[in-house]
Amino acid sequence: MFETGVRQIRLAVGMLSGRRLSTRNLGRLVADAVTTLAEFGEPGAEAQQLLGGPQADPETRQDFAERGLRRTARRLAVRSPFYARRLAGGPTEPGALDVDKLRAIPVTTKRDLIERPGDFVCTDAERYLSTRTTGTTGRPAEIWLSRYEMDLWSGLGALASVIRDELRPTDVMAVNMSSRAIAATHLTAATCRLAQSGCRLLGVLPPDDALDSLCGGGATVLATYPSYLAELVVAAQARGIGPDDFKLRRITVGGEVLSPALSDAARRTFGVPQLDDSYSMTEVIPVTGRTCSERHVHHDLNTGLVEVLDLVSGEPAAPGALGTLVITPYFPYRDCMPVLRYDTRDVVRCLPDEPLTCELAGTPGTSQILGKDGSLIRLGPSEVITPRQLIDAIESLPTRPWPARYRAAESGGRLRITLPTAAIEGFGESATRHHLAEAGVDAELVIVGDDQAAELRRTRSDLHEVSFAMPAALIGA
Amino acid sequence: MPHASSFAIPLWQQSFIQAAVCMVGAVLVCLGALYYFRRYRVERPPVGTFNGRDITILLAIILALPFFYAILPAWAITCFLCLTFAASLSIGYQRLVNPAVFWGGLGLLLGANIYESHFMMGTVIGWQVWWVELDILVILGAISVSNLYVQGGMRLKHVAFFAIALAFYDVFSTLVINVTAVLVEEFVGQPLDPTFGFRFQATNYGIGIGDLLVYALFTVACYKAYGRKAARLAIGISVVFGAAAPSLCPLLIALIDFRNDILVPSQLFFAPVAFVAYLWMRRKYGRERTMAEYLASEDNAAPVTAPAQPAPAPEPVGV
């Protein structure tokens, strides 16, 4: 208890001082948290404060953000060739930066990262591991990570997971994520090691193989993508297996849109009380977002600044308006290849300017991610159809076309959706059109053969890792 | 700890009075700690549970305390004891009573004891009032700290080893280097002397707060680990071997020190028996209950608190 108190003070002092944190101290704190839960069954009453930090009070939050920004900008101006150029001669000294003055600095785009990756690597950081984005939305970017970052993020993740009871020593986590998602898989394995849980890095296996590994208590926690979860649900229902065949207590998904229809089906099929839908992105790790019961995304403001900028003007988006998430991870949470004002092009809607009532109300939130800016369908000056609207509507069809395969485009001021035959089979085109209209998606339909389904919309589940004996098979409609 | 320069009172009588005082102290602290443990929860930090290294740290502090007292002036020791009592009592009781009543009552007790130490020690009544105030502080403090430790995760195993280590220290400091005798001599009549006791005629009788704390810890840890039967056994051991046996042993062994005080290292009698009792209970009942298992059992009479918020956060990283 005394030692743990000293470790907590060291962590808190490190966070406030802005120096690199001791990852060894953090690892030991995770072990202390595991022991605490073994003894008490739950953490002490102020555990959320340990994780949440000073986010509830706006003034404290602003002060915290300013200090984080200045610290980060000062380092980047000296250590990052890209930002040394960008910040040189700028209107504001890095040490005098605040949230308002930050807007004078242009956002960083994915193109910047792809074209000049070496310029983003800080001169005082030691490169350890590189990870590439999967490229489902364009050319992949390569991100270098330091050993310190990997230890730090897994330590912070494990501490949060243990305290929130997301990972227990008795858990075995099945990780059905692409093996190319190097950062995600390495971090998940390291997090499990610190939390003293088992970890099965399985990859995007053929769904039946994955189900075999989940059945009979092969895993208690499943981490995957919504599209692959959809394939698992379809395969499980086809095999007639249900909640009694699994010992899952938690499913966590991220990286794609999770529709309510698929979420409900997964809960029923696997027998878990709820699905955790997170937001994160390799370029801006470790700034992540959690989805609350009212379907807001609440971003972790301890590790970075999150702005929502209007899609056209680039100014802060108004309440109720669409905006792109622009994220700045703070030093010392981002070390090797940090970004300042990284424009994710992930679109959210700003929440109305009124107090939140959800369980995460202490942290500001936005709507869930609605899709990439490039995937929005603009039908008029004010009418925009988002990928989330389309996926929610299509996946709620009674034909259970999971994961949703579609193509959407504007045609003469009207929405046109292309669907594979299987998506409407047994339900009919007219009923489908009516169903979509009721879900708020009034569109004309184009039906194509199932052989074209995968071309309509690429999902992460398409990154199947097959064996020699097994041909790749298309699942989903 | 019969402490007097006069042996007008026969030794057997002193021993029995000392036994009675110690037994009252032991019973009060054991029952009080158990009552508190069954009904109230002490706030604990978000992360952290008592472990073996904490015992080592506690022992190091206990070893260092006499030297600390030796170098500090009297006023500084009084301030230190004020802080110690205020901290230990606020941990245990601040949430249970109105803050004004708590801090007012605490201030009154501390202030009155300090005042009486300077101005009312000329009469037996003055001494007795002084002792009563001190006894309230000591008993409440021991109850609070024992609950802080056990509710913080201290196990019966820790208590048993802690007692054994204290026994070695007690014997060494009492019979070998006479630190205890010097401390007792220095402290009796000083403000906030951390001792439970009373005065009859010209003699003070008492038992140190450290011994009472160990008895409270043993009782509560037994109850947490194995339930009512274990707690009854623990109280019996505390009263017989922690209070009665050390008090009556001067009838058999000459323990009068160079200052004519009779100082008996209580842990010498209590700790070995407590340790054997721990081994026996472990063999008979098996693994100790965790705090979570205790809270879920019928032995817990405290109101059930809502479980921690189940956590919505996932962590797969999108790429």
Q: What is the ipTM of this complex?
A: 0.74
- Sorting pLDDT into bands at 50, 70 and 90, what band is B6? very low
Predicted local distance difference test score (pLDDT) of residue B303: 63
CA distance B68 to chain A (A): 20
The pLDDT of residue A477 is above 50: no
Residue A338 near residue A351 (C-beta atoms within 8 A)? no
Compute the mean pLDDT over every residue in chain B, rounded to the nearest whole number: 81
**B93 CA to centre of own chain:** 16
Residue B184 near residue B1 (C-beta atoms within 8 A)? yes
What's the rounded mean pLDDT across residues A224-235?
Answer: 95
**What does the alpha-carbon distance between residue A450 and residue B214 come to, in Å, rounded to a whole number?**
76
Predicted local distance difference test score (pLDDT) of residue B279: 94
**What does the alpha-carbon distance between residue A329 and residue A84 come to, in Å, rounded to a whole number?**
17
What's the rounded mean pLDDT across residues A187-212?
Answer: 92
Sort out which chain A residues have CB atoms less than 8 A from B51's CB and list them.
Answer: 1, 3, 35
**What does the alpha-carbon distance between residue A191 and residue A185 come to, in Å, rounded to a whole number?**
10
How many helices and strands (H and E) does chain A possess? 14, 19
Predicted local distance difference test score (pLDDT) of residue B281: 92
A59 sits in which H/E element: helix A58-79
Per-residue pLDDT tens digits for A412-471: 889 999 999 999 999 999 999 999 999 989 999 999 999 998 899 888 888 888 776 655
- From the list B114, B17, B10, B12, the residue with the least C-alpha distance to B1 is B17
The pLDDT of residue B310 is above 60: no
- Sorting pLDDT into bands at 50, 70 and 90, what band is A137? low
Predicted local distance difference test score (pLDDT) of residue B312: 36
- Other CB atoms closer than 10 Å to residue A177's CB: what's the count? 28
The region of weakest confidence among A356-365, A419-428, B304-313 is B304-313
The pLDDT of residue B174 is above 90: no
**Higher pLDDT among residues B190 and A177, named by residue:** A177
Sort out which chain A residues have CB atoms less than 8 A from B315's CB and list them.
Answer: 157, 160-161, 166, 187-188, 191, 223, 252, 254, 278, 280, 288
CA distance A157 to chain B (A): 8
Per-residue pLDDT tens digits for B30-54: 999 999 999 888 888 888 888 888 8
The region of weakest confidence among A118-127, A162-171, B10-19 is B10-19
Q: Residue A144 — φ and ψ, nearest 5°? A: -90, 140
Q: At what angle do helices B209-226 and B156-171 cross, to 10 degrees?
A: 160
- DSSP code of B303? P
What's the rounded mean pLDDT across residues B98-102?
Answer: 88
**What does the alpha-carbon distance between residue B265 and residue B255 come to, in Å, rounded to a whole number?**
10
Sort out which chain B residues have CB atoms less than 8 A from A277's CB and list them.
Answer: 314
- With vertex at residue A45, the alpha carbon angle to CA A39 and CA A49, rounded to the nearest 5 degrees, is 120
**Higher pLDDT among residues A469 and A282, named by residue:** A282
Compute the mean pLDDT over every residue in chain A, rounded to the nearest whole number: 88
Instruction: Classify the C-alpha dihedral A466-A470-A471-A473 as positive or negative.
Output: negative
Per-residue pLDDT tens digits for A296-329: 999 888 889 999 999 988 889 999 999 999 999 9
The pLDDT of residue B302 is above 50: yes
CA distance A383 to chain B (A): 29
DSSP string covering A168-185: -TT-EEEEES-TT-HHHH
Q: Residue B131 has which token pair? A: 């002792």
- DSSP code of A424? T
Q: In A330-423, at which residue ranges do the beta strands (DSSP E only) sit?
A: 342-349, 365-367, 371-372, 377-378, 384-385, 407-411, 414-420
Judge: A276–B314 Cβ closer than 8 Å, yes or no: yes
- DSSP code of A450? G
**What does the alpha-carbon distance between residue A85 and residue A71 come to, in Å, rounded to a whole number?**
17
Predicted local distance difference test score (pLDDT) of residue A368: 93
Predicted local distance difference test score (pLDDT) of residue A391: 94
Judge: A187–B317 Cβ closer than 8 Å, yes or no: yes
**What does the alpha-carbon distance between residue A36 and residue A23 come to, in Å, rounded to a whole number?**
20
Predicted local distance difference test score (pLDDT) of residue A322: 92
Residue A192 near residue A60 (C-beta atoms within 8 A)? no
Predicted local distance difference test score (pLDDT) of residue A393: 94
Predicted local distance difference test score (pLDDT) of residue A444: 92
If you measure CA to CA, which chain A residue comes closest to B315?
A: A278
The pLDDT of residue B261 is above 60: no
Chain B positions with Cβ closer than 8 Å to A: 43-51, 53-54, 57, 152-153, 290-292, 295-296, 307-319
Percentage of chain A modeled with pLDDT above 70: 95
**What does the alpha-carbon distance between residue B192 and residue B189 come to, in Å, rounded to a whole number?**
8
The region of weakest confidence among A384-398, A410-424, B249-263, B299-313 is B299-313
The pLDDT of residue A8 is above 90: no
Query: pTM above the 0.95 mark?
Result: no
